[in-house]
Amino acid sequence: MRRRSALLWAAALGALLLPLAVDSPYVLHIAIVTGIYIVLVQSLNLVLGYCGLLSLASPAFFGVGAYVATLLALRQGWDSTATLAMAMLAGIFSALVVGFPSLRVSRHSFVIVTLSATLLLQLVALNWEEMTRGSLGLANIPAPRLFGMTVRTRIEWYYLSAAAAAIAVFCTWLLVSSRFGRAMIATRDDEQLALACGIDVFRTRLVAFCLSGGLAAVAGSLYAHFISYIDPGVFGFSVSETLLIMVILGGSGTLWGPVAGAVVFTALPEMLRLTPEIRSLLYGVILLSLVLYRPRRLFP
């Protein structure tokens, strides 16, 4: 335990001092995206890791947050403090709309319903051209302005994404350490026993699903402001694929496993760019090796 705590403190100190030690804009770009992915993987970890439900709706809430924040910033000129809050509310509301019917069906049907919701929202973003400009996307998204201060430089962006990641991890820890978090784990481990103990399984899962939607929407709004361009591709299945790799191979149902997965599997594809001819092959071999020889995942 002491060794793990020392390792975590060393990692936190290294993350804090990274912009002082690294002068490469490319490395900082990867670090910023990693921070955003940490927020996103914690959203999926709440549902998959702690409730035991395979959700494919994370890209839906990610995209909803991205579009809500973008439209409010571009067309209304809102401060990002307000757009982030509205994006989170939109994510929670979307999760409520999707989760209320889908959590009443079987686990297998739940996967299909969440995937269908993601595909449906992608079609809406693609065809509602008056609002989203369809496949052309929305460009020139302004830099976030928080409490009157504009985030412009890579270093400022790095600390913003790092703060968002730290807050997401801390909030996840608070949640899973609470009585409600123990109820989530109980519904994951034995649904019938949880019902016998008086736990409202449906309500517990619905609240967790809504919180997951809010976190994913915040990650989407940060991503939109950072990239300064979005299109319906933010709802794509590639986002789900990446998230599942990060959460499952990192260690679902743990606090730090998805964080480790986000760091490793954001940096790894960039490192493999050095061998573009066999990049996909090497990536597949690494994933298979982890599954076969590290069955307890990166951070058990």
Average pLDDT value for residue range 268-283: 78
**Residue 4 falls inside a structural domain:** no
**Residue 146 falls inside a structural domain:** yes
Alpha carbons 49 and 39: distance in angstroms, whole number? 15
CB 61 within 8 A of CB 43: yes
**Residue 113 falls inside a structural domain:** yes
- Residue 264: pLDDT above 90? no
Average pLDDT value for residue range 26-42: 92
CB 236 within 8 A of CB 59: yes
Residue labelled with tokens 């809500």: 68
Domain that holds residue 96: 25-235
Based on the structure, what is the number of domains in the chain? Answer: 1
* Between residues 239 and 48, the one the model is more confident about: 48
pLDDT band at 86, cuts 50/70/90? very high
Percent of the chain topping pLDDT 90? 44
SS3 137: coil
pLDDT band at 65, cuts 50/70/90? very high
- Residue 56: pLDDT above 70? yes
**Residue 159 falls inside a structural domain:** yes
- Residue 23: pLDDT above 80? no
Alpha carbons 138 and 153: distance in angstroms, whole number? 22
**Residue 161 falls inside a structural domain:** yes
**Residue 42 falls inside a structural domain:** yes
**Residue 18 falls inside a structural domain:** no
Give the DSSP per-residue string, 148-208. TEE--SHHHHHHHHHHHHHHHHHHHHHHHHSHHHHHHHHHHH-HHHHHHTT--HHHHHHHH
**Residue 297 falls inside a structural domain:** no
pLDDT band at 4, cuts 50/70/90? low
